[in-house]
Amino acid sequence: MESEPNDDVIVIGGGVVGLTTAVVLAERGLRVRVWTRDAVERTTSAVAGALWWPYRIEPEAKVGAWSLRSLAVYEELARRPAETGVRLVEGVKGQARLDELGPWAARVPGLRASTAEEFAGEGLWARLPLIDMATHLPWLRARLARAGGVVEERTVAALAEAEAPVVVNCTGLGARELVPDASVRPVRGQLVIVENPGITTWLAAVAPDGEMAYLFPHPDRLVLGGTAEEDAWSTEPDPAVAEAIVRRCAALRPEVAGARVLAHRVGLRPVRDAVRLEREVLPRGRSLVHNYGHGGAGVTVAWGCAEEAAGLVFPAA
């Protein structure tokens, strides 16, 4: 099926970056169609731990501004957590110091050194957006629909299939083949979802075995992580890895030990040396805007990148 001739914009990619970009464009009055290979609930974004924090993303000079813009949006959305899936949750990033972070850190409200009661070691306390992607992605899709946008499930073999005046490439790891851009690589992340034994604060820290562990609490479950395996393509959960994740998290929060496992999840982060956010001029006055390579911080920068991408769609507007 060819694209409709009255589409102003086709956004390819239905993860958090693609949907957020589509929302921004549609709410600026453009006719937007999203093409996504997978249902929104089955994209890589659906697997994200989804704590706001710049992670595995470059360039640092731009990431700060993108992240802070997104933070402001999420703080607003957190006023309606049941609807948007966004809550502001207190927690600690262990083994971290303010002077190790970029200039963006000075503008994060309340970010400070953690106390001994909050964490047994050096760390940073913060009240940050924690996003339930099972709620947030459908909410984004519904917000897009209210603005007149349409989401279609279809596999795209080439960017040239989209015949709209403007095409926005938010394909994440798919850009490796579609562009093609071999610099986009997967960094595999595995999670374990367990019943929440009563934990209300998040924690991301190095476990006693020297590996990273994190615990992200939601009202009905606890997300345990995780891994960062370079150039690993398997999306099948590894039982041994899952056991190690639970063990590391229990070493940090003993009440996790024995929590009933609800699910296992795997996602492939689309890592690139730097986010590609730029405009290409195509024949017949058409435009291709790239917005991909967000690594482990797609949620963190989604709104900032979406607004910059929207500015590239019609730069004279």
Binding region for FAD? 44-45, 156, 171, 295-300
Known binding positions = 44-45, 156, 171, 214, 269, 295-300
List Cβ neighbours of 58 (8 Å cut-off, separation of 6 or more): 272, 273, 274, 275, 295
Give which of 20, 23, 14, 71 is closest to 43, Cα–Cα. 14
231: left (phi over 0), alpha (psi -120 to 50) or beta: left
Match 């996602």 to its residue by tokens.
267
DSSP 251: H
Known binding positions for D-dopa = 214, 269, 296
For 115, other C-beta atoms within 10 Å of its C-beta total 10
* Tokens describing residue 111: 């970010």
Q: What is the identity of the amino acid at 166? A: V
Strand partners, 213: 205
Q: CA-CA-CA-CA torsion for 136, 137, 139, 144, nearest 10 degrees?
A: 140
259, 245 Cβ separation under 8 angstroms: no
